[in-house]
Amino acid sequence: MAQGTTARHVAIIMDGNGRWAKRRGLPRAMGHKRGVEAVRTLVRSLKGGAIECVTLYAFSSENWKRPRDEVSDLMNLMRGFIRSDLEEFAANGVRLRIVGDWRALDPDIVEMLEDALERTANGTHTVAVALNYGSQQEIARAARAAAEQGEITVETIERHLFTADLPPVDLLIRTSGEVRLSNFLLWQMAYAEMMFVDTLWPDFTPQHLQDALDEFAKRERRYGGR
């Protein structure tokens, strides 16, 4: 693929909320709250842009290992975000997608998400949120489903991924300076460009995203060719 191409699908590992709070002498919950504000600002910036889909890693299947009060804070923030931002999502043409085993969350959250998915179904650009998500688990689940229906191939596995209706990931961004994938969209990022930035997630702005997109446009993607 030639240089100058626009990323259709951007995936973001939103890392650094806890460190942001610690550096300021604040409780971790404040870092997560500021992280939600960064999500809100980023989503608003997508209107009218060329990106078709942004997938945000919000809560992994491994995050249940965190202290109970932190998990509770994260779930309450999720409830608040859905209540406060759903109308704006719908008005701005955002189609919400959830990837992961989200139906295993608390029943009231599942009900809220079902309503949000229905009310944003006709949106023109997608914000996918990974909740209770683990990529290895997703691949194993998709392979089992493919086997039950017949032959296991790349194509049959892809049909059973949570992201089956989304374009392949073009660009991965991970904030906070960490350089690892953390079990996120491993299959979908087979040929993704990757950028690891030092900025902590609460400080990540639409300009940071634009800078990453500008860098992406300079890269030459060969997909295994010359």
The residues that are catalytic are 15, 63
**Smallest Cα–Cα separation from 142: which of 104, 111, 172, 185?**
185
Ranges assigned E (strand) in 39-91: 53-60
Nearest partner of 169 among 50, 24, 35, 52, judged by Cα? 52
Residues 182-218: b if buried by 16+ CB within 10 A, e if exposed: ebbbebbbeebbebebebbbbebeeebbeebbeebee
Structure token pair of residue 115? 């309503």
